[in-house]
Amino acid sequence: MPLSLKRHLSTSLLSLGLIASMALASCGSTSNNGGGGPTSAAKGCKKIGVLLPESASSARWESKDHPLLVSAIQQALPGATVDITNANGDSNVQLNQAQQDLTKGDCILVVAPHDSSAAAQIVDAAHAQHVPVIAYDRLINSTSLDYYVSFDNVQVGKLQGQYIADHYQTYVTKNGNNNIYFINGAPTDNNATLFSQGVHSVVDPLISSGKLTKAYEVATPNWDNPTAQTEMEQALTAHSNKIAIAYVANDGMAGTVIQALTAQHLNGKVLVTGQDATVAGLQQIMLGNQSMTVYKANAKEAQSTAQIVAALSNGQSTSSIATSTVSYNGTNIPAILDTPVEVDASNIASTILADNYWQKSDLCNGLPAGTYANGTITCP
């Protein structure tokens, strides 16, 4: 086996090995905040610090989460000011940004961690000043974490896996092989571990039965899109371009994977998954190069976060808001887990456009005139 593939597989196995440390539970919220972290600074708080992880991995962070979080928090808590920063893929920068927010007097922190483990230092720093931390979208690996707001991320992977299970036969027949490649997300992002857990729970029985053959699997550092393209190019070379299914964890990486497939004239001939319902991903679906994505309504996620922020500031109970829990190292953390939605060519109009998540003009921008998405969208 080439050294580069061994390295990739080792990284992937390390990512998958983290799965065992996490379990999701949909039970009632506990009355304590995570590991019992101090929250006294939150009552009356009107200065909110929001820390985003990066922008290169997905367009969602700046185009959706940034404005939605500011709007939702200020609507739920009139008079609130929101300090929002982006770590641009650097865990040390994110820690420094958190420390700066605390120095400025921000008394509730909302953190979408770049690195789920490294961000535990942010929880410690905040709690030293009796400031609660809400993990946004990605879990922070800390038993002291106060709240977690996200989607059911195992379900995200299950939606991707079920799409593969429902459609793989068409692509196996078309390509004369049953190879599936897995391009997973960053091993430092707990969500990537949960997505992988979800997809494997559905797809592994197909592999065990011989209906699909796992030819390649890798965890992609930092969700880096160019790296995903290189990974796909190397995998195609190693397997003589034999591929039927490309499980790709998000739309950004799917776009560069499609570039690698296009170079071998395989675009449109391979089932390619994605996630985030980005404009670029949806356009690839409309063009027939990507098969599906997962729509996570960021507005709901932002509103759920804002509800917790407002309750903390007003000194109110959160038990009727954070009605789920996640378990980390034996500690139940109060959580809100919203529901993801599978999107393919057949339902872009009834989901994405119906929710005004994107406009038709966004999706048609730059595409040649014609009918796309199974006739459900006609670009002028």
Residues 81 and 193 in one domain: no
Query: In this structure, are residues 333 and 326 in contact, taking their beta carbons and an 8 Å threshold?
Result: yes
Cα separation, 234 vs 229, in Å, equals: 9
- Give the C-alpha distances (Å, rounded to integers) separating 293 from 74, 171, 351: 30, 17, 12
- Quick: pLDDT tens for 1-18: 444 444 444 444 344 444
Q: How far apart are the first and last CA of the chain?
A: 50
* Whole-number pLDDT of residue 4: 44
Residues 74 and 120 in one domain: yes
This prediction's pTM: 0.84
Q: For the chain, how many structural domains are there in total?
A: 2
Residues 331 and 270 in one domain: no
Parent domain of 333:
23-151+297-338
Closest CA to 185 of 257, 238, 240, 120: 257
Query: In this structure, are residues 247 and 273 in contact, taking their beta carbons and an 8 Å threshold?
Result: yes
**pLDDT range class, residue 374, cuts 50, 70, 90:** confident
CA dihedral 221, 4, 198, 245 (to 10 degrees): 120
Query: In this structure, are residues 180 and 213 in contact, taking their beta carbons and an 8 Å threshold?
Result: yes
What mean pLDDT comes out for the span 256-262? 98
- Quick: pLDDT tens for 126-173: 999 999 999 999 999 999 999 999 999 999 999 999 999 999 999 999
**pLDDT range class, residue 296, cuts 50, 70, 90:** very high
In a domain, 263, yes or no: yes
Q: Residue 40 pLDDT > 80, yes or no? A: no
Q: Residue 59 pLDDT > 80, yes or no? A: yes
Query: In this structure, are residues 80 and 73 in contact, taking their beta carbons and an 8 Å threshold?
Result: yes
Please give the sequence-ordered ranges of beta strands (E in DSSP) within the chain, or none if there are none: 22-25, 47-52, 81-86, 108-111, 133-136, 147-151, 179-184, 213-219, 245-248, 271-272, 292-295, 324-328, 331-338, 341-344, 370-372, 377-379
Q: Which residues pair with 362 in a beta bridge?
A: none
- Quick: pLDDT tens for 216-248: 999 999 999 999 999 999 999 999 999 999 999
Residues 246 and 291 in one domain: yes
Sign of the CA dihedral running 164, 63, 138, 229: positive
Q: Which residues pair with 150 in a beta bridge?
A: 337
**pLDDT range class, residue 38, cuts 50, 70, 90:** low
A 10 A CB-CB count for 262 gives 12
Residues 314 and 373 in one domain: no
Give Cα 95 distance to the centre of its chain: 21
* Whole-number pLDDT of residue 368: 87
Using CB atoms within 10 A of its CB, is residue 14 exposed (0-12), middle (13-18) or buried (19+)? exposed
Residue given tokens 């009632």 in the structure block: 28
Region of 36 please: left (phi>0), alpha (psi -120 to 50) or beta. left
* Whole-number pLDDT of residue 370: 85
In a domain, 13, yes or no: no
Residue type, 111: V
In a domain, 209, yes or no: yes
In a domain, 64, yes or no: yes
Cα separation, 99 vs 18, in Å, equals: 28
Residues 118 and 189 in one domain: no
In a domain, 86, yes or no: yes
Token digits of residue 344: 């393919």
Least trusted range by pLDDT, from 22-31, 46-55, 129-138, 232-241: 22-31
**pLDDT range class, residue 377, cuts 50, 70, 90:** confident
Phi, psi of 191 (to 5 degrees): -60, -40
Q: What is the mean pLDDT of the chain?
A: 90
Domain holding 134: CATH number?
3.40.50.2300
What mean pLDDT comes out for the span 324-328? 95
Q: What percentage of the chain exceeds 70 in pLDDT?
A: 89
